[in-house]
Each structure stands twice: as structure tokens, then as C-alpha cells.
Chain A
């Protein structure tokens, strides 16, 4: 039990914070209801995938600066492919785009492994490359999304036998997120590959000496990151109905949520749940500030200050823990 508490303490704290924030939201805006929660879930979706993409790489001891650019590229690719095409065609587009993310992510990892250039530099270069590629696909926001894709994340999940009141609090977007992440993450975490990812992040030398194929594992971690980023790109297209070639603020947000979610930037520690909860916390703070009718610019300042304060506090705690 103490092991569990020690390891999950941070996540539990975050969940508590999330609940407090929900209560605060209800107090600020007594009318805050299931519909608002649905739009929160939809807004969180691309962020959550970006964070998942970042988390995998950070656990493996790296960092991926190209997450947002990857999302932009996959989003415009999907949107331009679906523009004017039939609904069924989209069934092909989705796996194609996901495969593209996987391959480009693996390319990130391959470049890091083969060139031995630091990950920050490689993914920075890839940021330029992917951004450029996105601009070549679509030089202005455009394209379209299949209706069924858009419908996939709007509305709620009808579960027979559940009263509507509860049903309404289960937005489809949340379900999509949970399913996509669980299908990949849960089996991974328990597998030897998952352990290897933690191992190379924790200590590359020890991992190498334990017989972990360090290079291959690193490539796989980046490939997974690319896959999650592609999910994020699809989520963008699904929620906006178009694709935009200019990357959104997802890089910074993903790093912030990873840190807030208790994943050490050195690697080897943490899980996926923490960062995902952290995304909800950060988005909900934004909602609350908007509900309080605070100037959006001031909101940006407060958001930044929260992020910095959280990170400083986290660092302070680890420092105290070490002494």
C-alpha cells in the first residue's frame, strides 16, 4: 500500500485538485452542466494526445519538440485527403494518417540513434521539416472532415440502462480518448517493451548492460510518440472540420502537462494517467478564468504563472525529498 501511495501520490493529489476545480466551477457558474463538460472534453482531446505523445518520449529519457508540428502535418493531411471525398474513403484516411505518424515518429528516433545528434536538436530540426511539409500540403487552413468522424466526438455515449442524467456526463470525446490511450498504453506498460522504455530513460548504461536493445527501444518510443501525435492531428481535424498548417500551442502545453503530471523530465519515472489528468486541470483552470470574465490576455499570464509555479513547486519538493 505504501508503495502504491508513494508512486501514485502525485496523481491522487492531481485528481483531488481536479475535483476541487470542478466544485469551484460549479460555484462560479452554477449552470455549468454536462454540455459544458462535453465541450471541455472535446477541447482537451488534442491536448491530451499531444501530452501522451510527449509523455512516452520523456519517460524514455528524451524530449520531442516536434509534437505540435507533427499534429499540424497529420491534421492537414487528413483534412486535404478527405476534402471532397466520400465518407467511406475516410475509413482509409484514418489508418493512413496514423501510419504516417508512426513512421515519421520512428524517423525521429532513427535520426537520433543513427546521427547521435542530441534529441533536442533532432526534434527541433524535425519541427522545421514537419512544419514545412504541412505548409506544402495546405498553405492555408482548409480541407474537410468526414461527417462520421466529426460525429465520433460530439454528443454523449448512450449506455442502455443508465439514466440520462448520468449518461449526459459521458461525452463521446472522453470515451475516444480513453479507448485510444488504453488500447495502446495498458498492454505496453505491462510488457517487456514498456519496461525497456522506462529502463532507457532511467539509466541508459544500466539498460544496455541489462541487455535492453537501447537503440531499438528509443526508436519505438519515438514511433509511439508519432502515433499519439497523429491521433492528436486527427482529433484536431475532427473537432474543427478542417486542417491548419500552423502548429497550435501544443508543444508548450504538452511539456507543462507532462511536468505537472509527475513525469520527471530526466526520464524513467511517471505514467500516462498523471499527465492526462494534468491536461484536464490546466484546461479547467482556463475555463474558470474565462467564466470569471477575466481578460484573455491576463488569462494567458495567469496560465503561465501557474505553470511556472507548479514546476518550481515540483522541483522544490524533489529537492527537499533528496535531502
Chain B
């Protein structure tokens, strides 16, 4: 990110245009402001440990927000990611008791593939609105999980050591989760920018008829997309259980709405065709830092939620203004 010299003559407009050309800059500035506020409120809090901790909590959110980014590029949304992540985590934690880790892993990813497939077919073939489709599958998924829970209630659950290491471990200042996240994020960014599949996501979200006339088969793209999204959510679930270490039936549910918020803050258009993953990652970081900030301010839960909502709204509105000033 090269900050070219800004001549002071038409300063205000210059800055706006600069921000419009580099939409990531305002996001990074906001992130820095939040960290500075945090440092002012609690001098010394921003240290190596805190940064590692923040990143640790931001990563699951960032991956789920990646699901939202990709689906939002096609004009969709995936609200089943929370349920999928929870299912994978819960199945992993309960199956590892009696199964080989590899088999437990495969079993854990099964519901992800299934739900992704159903989502993809529903949206891609039957043309159901993605919001409805994914809400519906998440409802079914939750029901299935509750039934499943009764069958394994006796056998108990445990968190696999490897996942705990990956989720909570820190090696020389860097969270181990980065080992998973960095390649994953690089892959998502590369996929969106430099592969045929990525191109199609943007194109389908922008103008589906045009892609059809160009020979694109919508259902293929959408099915692949929702399966990918679900798989990412499943992986997030495994990472998240390593971080939280307490399997529950609503484990990743609280991440769903923030994941949408992170993608939106990151500049991905909810109507499709516009956006990218780098912005989303910063969006996830912003939300995580914000949560810490509010916790430190000892806000009552209610006030925290209000502020959270207002900030989501404000950031999106501000972002829209900056991007529109061209």
C-alpha cells in the first residue's frame, strides 16, 4: 500500500478521491483509530499478547466472513454457516471419543457438504432466495444436531489436542491458527482475482443473464459456491472449537451476523458484483477489536449491542459515501 504524496491544494477532495481509489485505506485507518482508543483507555493493553489474542478471535470470524463475501459477490448470502460450523465442531468433539481422527474429521465435514449441496441446489437450480434457503437449511441442521445430541449424550465429548493447539496455541508470538488462515486467505484472494471461478462469481452477481449468454451454467457456479462456503464454515467450526473448548449446540451461532457485518464493512456489495476478501479480513479485525473495546468499557450488554449496531450502520454509510465520491 503506497501512500503517494498528497499535495495540500484541494485537500479535502484529494483525500476523498484517494480513499475512493483505495477503499482499504479508510478501513485500516478506522482499525488504527480503534486500537489507539483502546490504548488510551487502557494504557499498555496493546501488546504482543493482546495482538495475538485479537488475531486468534478474529480468524474464525474472518473465515466465516469469507463465506459471506463469496456468496455476497453473487448477490446471495449464507446464513447457514453458523449451524454448519457448530455441527462440524460438535460432531468432531463427540466422534473423536470413539473414532479415528481422520474418520472423525470426515464425519464432521459430512453435514457441511450436505448442507452446502442442498443450499446450492436450492439457490442454483430451484432459484430460491439465498436468505430463505440458508435460513431454512440452518433450521433443519439445528434440528438434526439436537436429535444427534441425544444419541451421543452418554459417550461424552472431548476437544482433540491438535485442534486446541491450532485454536489457542501461540508460537513465538504468532497464533498457530495463522498456519491455517494465511494459506486459506491467500487461496480465497487468489481464487477471486485470478481464477475462472472467481471471475464467474463477480459476473454472476453482476448480471446473471449476461453470464448465461456467455455460456455460464448458473447452477454449477452456485452449487460449487455454496459447497465451498459450507466447507469453509465446517473448517471454521473445527478451529473454533479448539478456541472455545466447550462444545455446545449454539457454538458458532453468535458469529453469523457479525460475519455478514464484517463482509459489508469490508466493502463487499450485498447486491453482488463488487468487493473482495482483503477488505473483509480487515472488517473482521475491526469487529473483534471493537468487541474488546466494549468489554473494557464495561458497558452493559444492552448498550454494547446498541453501539455495535450503530457502528455497523455508520461504517457502511461512511464507506458508501467515500466510494461514491468519484
Complex Cα distance, B301 from A116, in Å, reads 29
Given A300-B139, A300-B143, are A122 and B313 also a contact pair (CB < 8 Å)? yes
Interface assignment of A28: CB less than 8 Å from any CB of chain B: no
Q: Does B144 contact A (CB under 8 A)?
A: yes
B312: A residues at CB distance < 8 A? 121, 124-125, 128
B136 touches A116 (CB 8 A): no
A248 at the interface (CB under 8 A from B): no
A residues within 8 A CB of B316? 115, 117, 121, 125
Distance (Å) between the CB of B81 and the closest chain A CB? 15
A73→B303 CA distance, assembly (Å) = 14
B128 within 8 A of A: yes
Which residues on the B side are within 8 Å of A302 (C-beta)? 143
A63 touches B260 (CB 8 A): no
| A301–B147 touching, CB < 8 Å | yes
- Interface set, chain A 116-141, CB cutoff 8 A to B: 116-118, 120-122, 124-129, 131-137, 139
A311 vs B139: C-alpha distance in the bound complex, in angstroms?
A: 14
A319–B313 CB distance below 8 A:
no
Query: Given the known A-B contacts A125-B309, A125-B312, A297-B147, are A135 and B302 also in contact in the complex, defined by CB atoms under 8 Å?
Result: yes
Residues 283-326 of B, flagged 1 when their CB comes within 8 A of A and 0 if not, give 00000000000000000111111111110110011001000000
Contact B128 A311 (CB under 8 A): yes
Query: Do B271 and A300 have beta carbons less than 8 Å apart?
Result: no
Alpha-carbon distance between A315 and B139 when the two chains are bound, in angstroms: 19
Query: Which residue of A has the minimal Cβ distance to B310?
Result: A129
B271 pairs with A118, CB closer than 8 A: yes
Asked whether, in the complex, the Cβ of B143 is within 8 Å of the Cβ of A117, the reply is: no
A129 touches B306 (CB 8 A): yes
* Cα(A299)–Cα(B307), bound, Å: 37
The residues of B that contact A125 with a CB separation of less than 8 Å are 261, 309-310, 312-313, 316
- Contacting A at CB under 8 A, from B133-188, are 133, 135-137, 139-140, 142-144, 146-147, 150
A60 at interface (Cβ–Cβ under 8 A)? no
Give the distance in Å from the alpha carbon of A126 to the alpha carbon of B308 in the complex.
10
Q: Indicate whether B46 reaches chain A with its CB closer than 8 angstroms.
A: no
The answer on a CB contact under 8 Å between B126 and A316 is yes
Once the chains bind, are B147 and A124 in contact (CB under 8 Å)? no
If A121-B270, A122-B313, A311-B132 touch, whether A295 touches B301 (CB-CB below 8 Å) is no
B interface with A by C-beta (< 8 Å): 77, 118, 122, 126-129, 131-133, 135-137, 139-140, 142-144, 146-147, 150, 257, 260-261, 264, 270-271, 300-310, 312-313, 316-317, 320
What are the 9 closest A-B residue pairs judged by CB atoms, nearest first? A128-B309, A132-B305, A135-B302, A301-B143, A304-B139, A132-B306, A136-B302, A300-B143, A304-B140
Q: What are 14 pairs between A and B in contact, CB < 8 Å?
A: A115-B316, A118-B271, A121-B312, A125-B261, A125-B310, A126-B309, A128-B257, A252-B135, A304-B137, A307-B139, A308-B136, A312-B126, A315-B127, A316-B127
